[in-house]
Chains A and B, each alone.
Chain A
Amino acid sequence: MKRSKLFMLIGALLVAAMLLAACPAAVPAEAPASDSAAEEPAMADEVIEIEYWQYNFAARVDAMDQLIAQFEEANPNIKVVHNADIPYAEFRDKIAASVPAGVGPDVATLFYGWQSVWIDSGYLVPLPEDAFPPAMVAEKFSPMVQASFVEGTLYTLPTAVRALALFYNKDLMADAGLDPENPPSTLDELADQAVACTQRDDDGTLVVQGFVADPAAQDHHWFREVLVRQFGGVPYTDDYTEVLYNDEAGMQAWNYLLAFHTDLATGDRDLFDGSTNAFVGGHVCFHVDGSFRLGTIAKNNPEMNFGVAELPSHNGVKSTFGSYWTHGLTKKAAADQARFDAAVKFLQFITSADAGALWVDIVGELPAQLEAGSNPELLADEKLGAFAAGLEYSHATFFADESQQRQAIIDSFDMVVLTDEDPATALQIAADTDQEVLDDFWSSR
């Protein structure tokens, strides 16, 4: 009897010991942080190691590898560890999971639309003004980069920027009797030519799609920053606190976009899982997309005979949506002065005009610095010229939460297309949802 009690006790103690042993392992946040603090008094000639993260996209990885090699040669006491193993879809999750464990990047590349959420989460630190004076950014960088200032403070800077333009499939245009050297230059021409280019078989099944309206691709941007402006409206107030696209101009823009699916029936986004796949596969005549798609086409359908023109104008108004992947300094970098200085140096290097010039050659994105972006050679480029021309009239939406604001437009489009909702009601719902996201964001500041 006594013995069995003793063994119960031993058993219980064992379990307790295991529990205790488990505890330190279960609190990951503390240990690595104190490790790095211990290394702090770095000697001047000691090599400082900083970590740089971006998502996995072959051309970007290649370009960054070259930039890092150049940087390390010029700064032999700084070593940059390049982590680009994370797929795009998991990039945000991975950052969220790694950083609390103390293993994240010092310099990270993020979509500019994510800035607000990352800043609100306390992840990004402001860029030091002496190294990145606001006046220099205003003077040298493309105007869309102003979106990197959040409430007057600069948080990130890009190497390169992108704009939207009109892709057109020359062979399909020729098949339809259209002139492949004269792509649509106005919205009316785009609608007419999309109809002319659309072909169905005897059952009514779409064989060639003229234009596929797909807000889940780039068309939600096209609607907000391009169509709304071209029909005489503005998508938001200048400070992006209030939604304004739910007015008369917005309604016209909304109807123009919807018509491709409803009245004109020039395409069905479900046929090839989205307009982008359909265009890259060679089934679509006209498509709104960014310069980054050039690489996708080169890789997946290099034989396709296509061209790129500036986005069609309307009422004499030209506009395009600009966006960019941008680099920020993290809290982890800011925790250690020596590493922070190294990270600042690295950031200055990869956002230089030279870095932008290298980037455009490899990745096909346009240099963020105007000096490199307005290069006559670039403007004359058959494919990139249309994007470069758009830089001067581009608008970058300031997003409080890009994925939710995008979803608002997608859902309202779906309401009309899938559930026969009245377009005006649907647009109002999009505006209300969008406004709620903005209110949520601004009220917490």
Chain B
Amino acid sequence: MRLTLHQRQIIWAYIFMSVALVFFVIIRWYPTILAFNVSFRDWNVFEGSGPWVGLENYQEIWQDAGKPRSSVTAAFSNTVRYVLFGVPSQLVLALAIALLLAQIRRLSAVFRVAYFAPYVTSAVAVAFVWNWLYQPETGLINQGLDLVGLPQQPFTKSPAQALPSITAVAVWQNLGFAVIIFLAGIQQIPSHYYEAARIDGANAWQLFWRITLPLLNPIIVYLTVLGTISYLRLFALVQNMSPQGTGGPLKSTTTVVLEVYREGFSSYKMGYAGALTVLLFFLILLITIIQLRFFSRRVEY
């Protein structure tokens, strides 16, 4: 059988892609399928197996959610709050910074690196640094507050402030990625749109609202979806910034993923943890579908 050049190219393409496929199958798909399987079983972590119990784990989660001061309820409501606080602030800040960065020529590379650096820093390292900054009395932020005569704040030590404090760090950490994507989007908008609008007498505000923002819509959708998913999966920051990594004080910062971890690896209740994972999976799926449906509209000029 003789192959044409084109056919050989296709074969090679499949061969190269199959390497990535193997990676995904082993590292992503297999554990996902396993998690579904585990969630229907009374899974024994040391045996790596367990009897089928149907929906028992899900029923247990449902019952736990009905109890007062339930960790499960706290985890789901906190997770939603992280998304609601985190995603909009991240988008607005990133867009503002990207617009400013698009204006400057000098040192723009330096600024980009500065904004992007936290994104590639380990979340654990970020958490440690911010723990110091947030420290009562000796922390930099509280000393700053002292200096300008404002009262000290407990930040992560108080049930009311802990979640916003951790959200702020997450926003700070993820900002750079959104800035870079926004910047790329802004630079893709053809300059003749702006020129034409200016000739028609549009002011800067109108340029932003009528041209920049609508044309950035696909990017906003993309960043919203990715951002939402990343806040729904928040874990490392909470584990390293809450007291003893428990999602406290008083469960005020715990997330679904943190509860999965605690149930699975501290109480060894793998079936229960698996069921929580599956619920989170469907929550992410549902929110993503809704977002894609309602936010993505085509804008063309």
Show the binding face of A for B, using Cβ within 8 Å: 3, 7, 10-11, 14-15, 18-19, 21-22, 25-26, 29, 89, 92-93, 96, 99-101, 117-118, 120-123, 205, 216, 268, 270-271, 273, 331, 401, 403-404, 407, 410-411, 414-415, 418-419, 429, 433
Number of A-B pairs, beta carbon distance below 8 Å:
100
A residues in contact with B7, CB < 8 Å: 3, 7
A118 CB to nearest chain B CB (Å)? 8
Residue of A nearest to B156 (CB): A270
Interface centre among B131, B157, B251 (most CB of A within 10 A): B157
Residue of B nearest to A124 (CB): B46
B residues in contact with A14, CB < 8 Å: 14-15, 18
- Given the known inter-chain contacts A29-B48, A270-B154, A407-B246, please indicate yes or no for A21 contacting B22, CB distance below 8 A: yes
- Those of B243-300 within 8 Å (CB) of chain A: 243-246, 248-251, 262, 264-268
Q: Is the Cβ of B48 less than 8 Å from the Cβ of A418?
A: no
Q: Is the Cβ of B26 less than 8 Å from the Cβ of A403?
A: no
Q: Is the Cβ of B46 less than 8 Å from the Cβ of A121?
A: yes
Q: Is the Cβ of A404 less than 8 Å from the Cβ of B267?
A: yes
Q: Is the Cβ of A22 less than 8 Å from the Cβ of B26?
A: yes
With an 8 A cutoff between CB atoms, is B125 at the interface? no
Q: Mark B74-111, 1 if CB is under 8 A from A, else 0.
A: 00000000000000000000000000000000000000
- Given the known inter-chain contacts A99-B46, A216-B243, please indicate yes or no for A411 contacting B268, CB distance below 8 A: no
- Given the known inter-chain contacts A270-B136, A407-B246, please indicate yes or no for A92 contacting B265, CB distance below 8 A: yes
A189 to B267, CA, bound (A): 40
A residues in contact with B251, CB < 8 Å: 411
A270 to B249, CA, bound (A): 12
B239 CB to nearest chain A CB (Å)? 10
With an 8 A cutoff between CB atoms, is B114 at the interface? no
Q: Is the Cβ of B248 less than 8 Å from the Cβ of A22?
A: no
B residues in contact with A121, CB < 8 Å: 44-46, 268
Q: Is the Cβ of B22 less than 8 Å from the Cβ of A18?
A: yes
A410 to B157, CA, bound (A): 13
Q: Is the Cβ of B45 less than 8 Å from the Cβ of A268?
A: no
A340 to B266, CA, bound (A): 27
Q: Is the Cβ of B26 less than 8 Å from the Cβ of A26?
A: yes
Which residue from A25, A29, A271, A410 sits with its C-beta under 8 Å from B26?
A: A25
Q: Is the Cβ of B246 less than 8 Å from the Cβ of A15?
A: no
A sample of 9 inter-chain contacts (CB < 8 A) reads A10-B14, A11-B11, A14-B15, A21-B22, A29-B49, A121-B268, A122-B47, A410-B243, A418-B250
Q: Is the Cβ of A401 less than 8 Å from the Cβ of B267?
A: yes
B residues in contact with A99, CB < 8 Å: 45-46
With an 8 A cutoff between CB atoms, is B69 at the interface? yes
A101 to B45, CA, bound (A): 10
A residues in contact with B154, CB < 8 Å: 270
Q: Is the Cβ of B137 less than 8 Å from the Cβ of A205?
A: yes
B residues in contact with A7, CB < 8 Å: 7, 10-11
- Known A-B contacts: A123-B46, A270-B154, A403-B267. Give 10 more (CB < 8 A): A7-B10, A7-B11, A10-B14, A96-B45, A205-B137, A270-B157, A273-B135, A414-B250, A418-B159, A418-B249
B residues in contact with A101, CB < 8 Å: 48
Show the binding face of B for A, using Cβ within 8 Å: 7, 10-11, 14-15, 18, 21-22, 25-26, 30, 44-49, 69, 131, 135-138, 154, 157-159, 243-246, 248-251, 262, 264-268
Residue of B nearest to A19 (CB): B25
Which residue from B22, B45, B157, B250 sits with its C-beta under 8 Å from A411?
A: B250
B residues in contact with A11, CB < 8 Å: 10-11, 14
A residues in contact with B264, CB < 8 Å: 96
Q: Is the Cβ of A415 less than 8 Å from the Cβ of B250?
A: yes
A10 to B243, CA, bound (A): 55
Residue of B nearest to A217 (CB): B244
A residues in contact with B22, CB < 8 Å: 18, 21-22
Residue of A nearest to B136 (CB): A270
- Given the known inter-chain contacts A25-B26, A205-B137, please indicate yes or no for A122 contacting B248, CB distance below 8 A: no
A residues in contact with B131, CB < 8 Å: 273
A residues in contact with B245, CB < 8 Å: 89
Q: Is the Cβ of A414 less than 8 Å from the Cβ of B249?
A: yes
B residues in contact with A419, CB < 8 Å: 159, 250
A residues in contact with B159, CB < 8 Å: 414, 418-419
B residues in contact with A29, CB < 8 Å: 48-49
B residues in contact with A414, CB < 8 Å: 159, 248-250
Residue of A nearest to B7 (CB): A7
A residues in contact with B246, CB < 8 Å: 407, 410
B residues in contact with A268, CB < 8 Å: 136
Which residue from B10, B30, B49, B244 sits with its C-beta under 8 Å from A26?
A: B30
A216 to B249, CA, bound (A): 11
Residue of B nearest to A436 (CB): B67
A401 to B137, CA, bound (A): 35
Q: Is the Cβ of A411 less than 8 Å from the Cβ of B136?
A: no
Q: Is the Cβ of B136 less than 8 Å from the Cβ of A96?
A: no
Q: Is the Cβ of A100 less than 8 Å from the Cβ of B30?
A: no
Q: Is the Cβ of B25 less than 8 Å from the Cβ of A22?
A: yes
B residues in contact with A415, CB < 8 Å: 250
Q: Is the Cβ of B45 less than 8 Å from the Cβ of A100?
A: yes
Q: Is the Cβ of B249 less than 8 Å from the Cβ of A122?
A: no
A120 to B268, CA, bound (A): 9
Top 7 nearest A-B pairs by Cβ distance? A100-B48, A123-B46, A29-B48, A93-B265, A26-B30, A11-B14, A270-B157
Q: Is the Cβ of A96 less than 8 Å from the Cβ of B18?
A: no
Which residue from B136, B244, B249 sits with its C-beta under 8 Å from A271?
A: B136
A residues in contact with B26, CB < 8 Å: 22, 25-26
Q: Is the Cβ of A411 less than 8 Å from the Cβ of B248?
A: yes
Residue of B nearest to A99 (CB): B46
Q: Is the Cβ of B30 less than 8 Å from the Cβ of A22?
A: yes
B residues in contact with A26, CB < 8 Å: 25-26, 30
A118 to B46, CA, bound (A): 9
A407 to B251, CA, bound (A): 10
Residue of B nearest to A206 (CB): B137
Q: Is the Cβ of B21 less than 8 Å from the Cβ of A15?
A: yes
Which residue from A18, A270, A401 sits with its C-beta under 8 Å from B25?
A: A18
A123 to B45, CA, bound (A): 9
Q: Is the Cβ of A96 less than 8 Å from the Cβ of B47?
A: no
A207 to B158, CA, bound (A): 22
Which residue from B30, B135, B158 sits with its C-beta under 8 Å from A418?
A: B158
A29 to B44, CA, bound (A): 13
B residues in contact with A3, CB < 8 Å: 7
Residue of B nearest to A28 (CB): B48
Residue of A nearest to B154 (CB): A270
Q: Is the Cβ of A100 less than 8 Å from the Cβ of B46?
A: yes
Which residue from A15, A122, A270, A403 sits with its C-beta under 8 Å from B18?
A: A15
B residues in contact with A122, CB < 8 Å: 44, 46-47
B residues in contact with A270, CB < 8 Å: 136, 154, 157
